[in-house]
Homo-oligomer: A and B are copies of this chain.
């Protein structure tokens, strides 16, 4: 293990890949790597890129990485995909667009499954981000598919969260409804060459005008990621947010909130593992069947399980 850590810290990409694989599998060995590498993290700027289906997030993520490369910065990318054997083809197809970046030593990309064992993101996504951070990338981009709980969790890990919107068939208003706009630090109107882009910008401005007074207004940036347009302005908007985080002291609060969330989330996973270890599968199954047949309510059953590891 020490040899792999040493090669990792010297900046060998193959060592990075091997460490991430171990961390992803959430083995005790993987956790030991996180333990050793975690002190080297905390320097990268972590950016979450999120938005509805079809908003062009993948393309935007690639284009933003290319913009950072132009600026001489290195970039790690974690693409969080719902784990689906059924749709893996489509996901891989999408990744082909990233291929020219893949040949660049200054960019590293990893796809990850999003489904945790019992809801929420697997704690290992935070670990993979920490490992990429420790490797020394200037930026780590987390791209998520979908619009819902995942985004809210990503927003915890990211220092700057970008919400990607696009002028579509009324989806814009729907996306606002989804309640994730208040987690956005920068709003992107992608596919800005499509009709309706300016209308969407106006709608977003109107929506932001309803924000509580004193809160920071996210900047709205128009991009056409597929043609590489607007990425300079987006990178600038991210820098401004980063500077605001630091000058306002908000960054410490962000790091604290993220650490609290991570620690509690892992502690919960540990306790769940202990429940599973303390209760033989046959006993668990018997309890579950009593609930399924309405003979026992789920709260009483859960208390029985919890009592097996703690009281």
Q: Spell out A's residues near B (CB within 8 Å).
A: 31, 34-35, 38-42, 52-54, 81-84, 86-87, 89-91, 94, 114-116, 118-121, 126, 144-153, 166, 168-171, 173-182, 194, 210-211, 252, 255-256, 258-272, 274-275, 284, 287-289, 291-295, 297-303, 305-306, 309-310
Contact = CB atoms under 8 A, between A and B. Distances in A.
A151 B152 CA distance: 15
B147 A149 contact: no
A152 B115 contact: yes
A267 B305 CA distance: 6
Nearest to A50: B148
A34 B86 CA distance: 37
Contacts of A268: 118, 268, 271-272, 275
How many of these chains are in the complex? 2
Contact of A148 (B82, B258, B267): B82
Contacts of A266: 298-299, 301-302
Contacts of A271: 268, 271-272, 275, 306, 309-310
14 contacts: A35-B299, A38-B294, A81-B179, A84-B179, A90-B173, A91-B177, A120-B149, A145-B147, A147-B147, A256-B288, A256-B292, A259-B298, A266-B302, A267-B275
Contact of A298 (B94, B178, B263): B263
A263 B287 contact: yes
A282 to B, nearest CB: 13
Contact of A169 (B39, B169, B265): B169
Contacts of A210: 86, 89
A300 B34 CA distance: 10
Contacts of A287: 263
A144 to B, nearest CB: 8
